[in-house]
Amino acid sequence: MITGVDLFCGVGGLTHGLIMGGVRVAAGIDVDSQCKYAYEKNNPCKFIERDVRDIQGDELRALWSGKTLSLLAGCAPCQPFSTYSRKGRAHRKDSKWDLVSDFGRLVRESKPDYVTMENVPQLLDHDVFEEFICSLGDTYHVWHKVVECATYDVPQTRKRLVLLAAKSGPIAVLPPSLTNEPATVRSAISHLKRLDAGTSDPSDRMHKACRLSELNLRRIRASKPGGTWRDWDKSLVAKCHKRESGETYPSVYGRMEWDDPSPTITTQCFGYGNGRFGHPEQNRAITLREAAILQTFPESYQFLPDNEPVRFSVLGRLIGNAVPVRLGEVIAETLTRHAANHVG
C-alpha cells in the first residue's frame, strides 16, 4: 500500500484520482480555506490549511506514519508559468515560483519513496524545474514528460507536465490505452439538463449558466461549433478583434464541438467570452457542473454546502485549477504497479 500527502491539494482532483487508482491519501495541504469543504466532503482525508512554505519534513513523515510506502504529490500553483501570463515572465520574479522550490525542499527533508508533480508544460522553460530535478539527487529514478490528457480519457485537450520519481527503480507513466474510444464533449455532458443562459438546474445548483447580454446572445446564436468570431456579421465583431492584436484569439467567443474534446478548462471557463466555452448547441456558456465533469470530477462531486451561494468566480477558479481526476488515477495506477514490481 502507498500512502500519499497531496501538497497544493485544492478541492481534491489529484487526491480523488489517487484514491480511485489505489493509493491511500492521508491528507491534503492547501493555503486556501475555500477548498476545505469539497476536499473533505468527497475524500476520506484530512484537509490541512497551511502554507506549504511553513511545512517541515518531519510533519509529513508523521502523516505517513512509516507503515506503508510514502508518496509526496502535488501541483504547485502554475499561473506564473502558464500561457495566460507569459508577458515578461522570463524577467519577472514571482513569489509563487518559490513554491516549486519548497516542494523540492520537502522532498529532501521527508525522503518519500515516491514523488509526483503535475504542472503546466511551460514550467520546463524555467530554471526552477531543473533545480527541482537536481534536488532529487541520486536518490531517485526520475521521469518526466508533457502528457496530452485527452489520450487518457480526459475529455479536454489539456497538456500537462507530469513528473514521477521512485527510489526503488526506473519509472514511467503507463501508456494510454489504444482500445478505448476517445472521450468527447458529447460523451461527457450531453446527458445534462438543457438550460438557457442565466438559469440553473433545480436538482443541481452547480449546473448553472452565466447570464449573457443581448449582444452576446446574438453572437452565440451566430456561432457554429468549432467556428470563430470571423464567421459573424461585422456588426457583432468586438472592437478588440478588429485590431491586429485581436487576430490571434480566434477561439474567444467560440462554441465547443460535440465529438471532440473540449479546450483546456480554465478558471474563467464559465464565461462565453473567455475562450471556446460556448455550449455546442445551447445558447450559453458551459455550466460549472459541465466544467467539473470535463475535468473528470464525478457528477456527484460536491463543491459547496447547501447554505452557501454559487459564486462563479470562486468555483470557476477551484475547478479550473484542479488536476483532472482521471490523470490522478493514471498516476496512482502507475505507482501501485511499480510498487508491486519493484518493492518486496
Q: Give me the active site residues, please.
A: 78
Q: Which of 322, 11, 293, 17 is nearest to 156 (CA)?
A: 293
Structure confidence at residue 243 as a pLDDT band (50, 70, 90): low
pTM beyond 0.85:
yes
Assess whether 48 and 190 both reside in one domain: no
Assess whether 305 and 217 both reside in one domain: yes
Taking the C-alpha atoms of residue 289 and residue 192, their distance in angstroms, rounded to an integer, is 9
Assess whether 105 and 164 both reside in one domain: yes
Q: Which of 154, 79, 164 is nearest to 123 (CA)?
A: 79
Q: So what's the pLDDT on residue 242?
A: 63
Q: So what's the pLDDT on residue 248?
A: 52
User: What average pLDDT does range 33-51 have in this prediction?
Assistant: 97
Query: Following CA atoms 95, 267, 249, 88 in sequence, which dihedral angle do they give, to the nearest 10 degrees?
Result: 0
In a domain, 180, yes or no: no
List all residues 6 or more positions away from 328 whose beta carbon is below 8 Å from its beta carbon. Answer: 13, 14, 15, 16, 17, 18, 20, 21
Assess whether 154 and 236 both reside in one domain: no
Assess whether 264 and 335 both reside in one domain: no
Taking the C-alpha atoms of residue 144 and residue 26, their distance in angstroms, rounded to an integer, is 25
Assess whether 56 and 94 both reside in one domain: yes
Assess whether 272 and 192 both reside in one domain: yes
How many distinct helices (H) and strands (E) make up the chain?
A: 11, 9
Residues 189-205: pLDDT tens digits? 999 999 999 999 999 99
Taking the C-alpha atoms of residue 200 and residue 168, their distance in angstroms, rounded to an integer, is 50
- Which residues lie across from 114 on neighbouring strands? 71, 166
**pLDDT of 94 higher than 60:** no
Assess whether 217 and 263 both reside in one domain: yes
Assess whether 328 and 296 both reside in one domain: no
Q: So what's the pLDDT on residue 241?
A: 67
Q: Which three cell numbers stand for residue 154?
A: 480526459
Q: So what's the pLDDT on residue 98?
A: 80
Assess whether 78 and 198 both reside in one domain: no
Q: So what's the pLDDT on residue 93?
A: 47
Residues 279-312: pLDDT tens digits? 999 999 999 999 999 999 999 999 999 999 999 9
User: What average pLDDT does range 55-84 have in this prediction?
Assistant: 83
Distances in whole angstroms, Cα of residue 62 to Cα of each of 4, 5, 70, 247: 12, 11, 11, 54
Structure confidence at residue 235 as a pLDDT band (50, 70, 90): confident
CATH of the domain at 293: 3.90.120.10
**pLDDT of 137 higher than 80:** yes
Structure confidence at residue 33 as a pLDDT band (50, 70, 90): very high
**pLDDT of 79 higher than 90:** no
In a domain, 77, yes or no: yes
Secondary element (H or E) of residue 159: strand 159-166
More confident residue, 230 or 11: 11
**pLDDT of 59 higher than 70:** yes
Domain that holds residue 151: 2-175+324-342
User: What average pLDDT does range 150-171 have in this prediction?
Assistant: 96
